[in-house]
């Protein structure tokens, strides 16, 4: 009941403050971008969720969608939202340090998450609002922040305890608004598969299947609800990354690298960023780390091969620590807890996006799309210009995504 009152209050407040669609936007279609965090590319074929399978058969499906490096939640959600690689839009990881600001960004740090000055690029909802189109978001990375001074007309601060059913109900309420205030772009987020993948690992057939069927039932309600509106609404299902099993024996202790006087380490498990402190000697610090490599390799950032844009964003750090595939960077406390059974070490992600287990999904269905079409794998940077084309929004200069990559899936 508490959540219902919170949602009602926030929705009424947003309704009062929301802008109206410009007259030029009223006849345009609708796009609902649904993120299913941690939904690995092969789950649908393995577990056959009925509603999702039917959605896929009647629409467009990619063999997989290739994440951007690192295959972590915040960088990849924001890449989908901006069409830019992480080192270009600035969310280079779930946790990183900004030398210019002298601050650490963490996904659990609400003051940073809601501060638009951390975020580069022009997210889809900002693009829409700047062009007189009402946008809404029931959770998506960056949608809580005042990016370029703009937030969606309707949005909610993240609260993972809000049931998935309530999220779907809210989307359908948005679509029932008067045309002048009805959002043409909506983002929606579910963490169901990521939660199950981290807790049990993708190899646990029983638990992953159970979680997927729960998500499938909720998505079925969304599909039917959207269809019943009669609106020219298009639904795009994506995920941010895949998942791989990582056992307690694959955890690497980084405590021996502790050199607080020389550098700061921002550890994200599948990689860590090392930031030299003022006055620290880069060569000696690098040598110190290299001498202690243990199922991981240290790279000077300018030599690191996994960033595709070629940019050297200072947020990446001076060195990058990359574990062998299947190993995960940790510390002595967490390793002891995992090996003592105090928590279950399940699945992880963040590794090289070229590895199939890190691949995500892309499914699309609606009047804008061809039916019964399968396409090869593609990179997630290309979703942004696709949505811009459907909604008739300008495609910002300088993005990495290209409109022509997915043009062939459109029914036009």
Domain ranges of the chain: 28-245+353-409, 248-345
CATH 3.50.50.60 for domain 248-345: no
pLDDT band at 308 (very low <50, low <70, confident <90, very high): confident
Average pLDDT, stretch 286-303?
Answer: 96
Residue 364 has pLDDT above 70, yes or no: yes
Does the annotation mark 95 as catalytic?
no
Average pLDDT, stretch 225-231?
Answer: 98
Residue 11 has pLDDT above 60, yes or no: no
Residue 344 has pLDDT above 80, yes or no: no
Q: CA 128 to CA 262: how far, in whole Å?
A: 45
Q: What is the pLDDT of residues 45-100, one digit of tens each?
A: 999 999 999 999 999 999 999 999 999 999 999 999 999 999 999 999 999 999 99
pLDDT value for 261:
86
Cα dist from 411 to 34, 59, 333, 370, whole Å: 20, 11, 54, 5
Which of the following is catalytic: 73, 95, 122, 192? 73
pLDDT value for 18:
62
Cα dist from 404 to 66, 379, 382, whole Å: 17, 13, 9
Report the predicted TM-score, pTM, of the whole model to 2 decimal places.
Answer: 0.94
Q: What is the CATH number of domain 28-245+353-409?
A: 3.40.720.10
């Amino acid at each position: 009941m508490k959540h219902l009152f919170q949602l009602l209050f926030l929705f009424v407040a947003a309704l009062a403050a929301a802008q109206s669609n410009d007259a030029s936007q009223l006849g345009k279609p609708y796009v609902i971008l649904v993120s299913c965090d941690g939904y690995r590319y092969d789950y649908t074929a393995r577990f056959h969720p009925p509603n999702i399978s039917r959605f896929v058969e009647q629409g467009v499906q990619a063999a997989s969608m290739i994440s951007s490096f690192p295959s972590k939640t915040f960088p990849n959600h924001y890449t989908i939202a901006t069409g830019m690689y992480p080192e270009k839009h600035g969310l280079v990881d779930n946790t990183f340090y900004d030398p210019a600001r002298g601050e650490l960004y963490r996904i659990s740090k609400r003051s940073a998450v809601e501060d638009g000055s951390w975020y580069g690029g022009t997210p889809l909802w900002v693009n829409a609002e700047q062009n007189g189109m009402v946008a809404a978001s029931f959770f998506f990375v960056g949608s809580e922040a005042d990016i370029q001074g703009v937030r969606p007309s309707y949005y909610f601060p993240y609260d993972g305890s809000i049931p998935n059913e309530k999220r779907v109900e809210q989307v359908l309420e948005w679509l029932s608004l008067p045309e002048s205030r009805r959002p043409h772009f909506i983002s929606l987020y579910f963490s169901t598969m990521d939660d199950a993948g981290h807790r049990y690992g993708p190899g646990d057939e029983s638990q992953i299947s159970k979680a997927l069927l729960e998500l499938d039932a909720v998505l079925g309600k969304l599909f039917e609800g959207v269809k019943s509106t009669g609106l020219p609404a298009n639904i795009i299902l994506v995920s941010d990354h895949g998942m791989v099993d990582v056992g307690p024996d694959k955890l690497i202790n980084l405590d021996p690298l502790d050199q607080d006087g020389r550098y700061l380490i921002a550890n994200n498990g599948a990689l860590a960023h090392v930031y030299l402190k003022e006055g620290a000697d880069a060569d000696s610090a690098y040598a110190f780390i290299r001498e202690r490599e243990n199922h991981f390799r240290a790279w000077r950032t300018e030599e690191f091969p996994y960033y595709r844009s070629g940019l050297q964003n200072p947020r990446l750090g001076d060195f990058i620590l990359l574990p062998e595939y299947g190993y995960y960077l940790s510390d002595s406390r967490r390793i002891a807890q995992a090996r003592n059974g105090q928590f279950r070490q399940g699945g992880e992600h963040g590794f090289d996006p070229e590895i199939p287990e890190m691949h995500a999904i892309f499914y699309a269905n609606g009047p804008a799309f061809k039916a019964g079409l399968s396409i090869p794998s593609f990179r997630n940077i290309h979703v942004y210009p696709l949505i811009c084309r459907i909604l008739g929004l300008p495609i910002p200069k300088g993005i990495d995504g290209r409109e022509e990559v997915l043009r062939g899936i459109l029914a036009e």
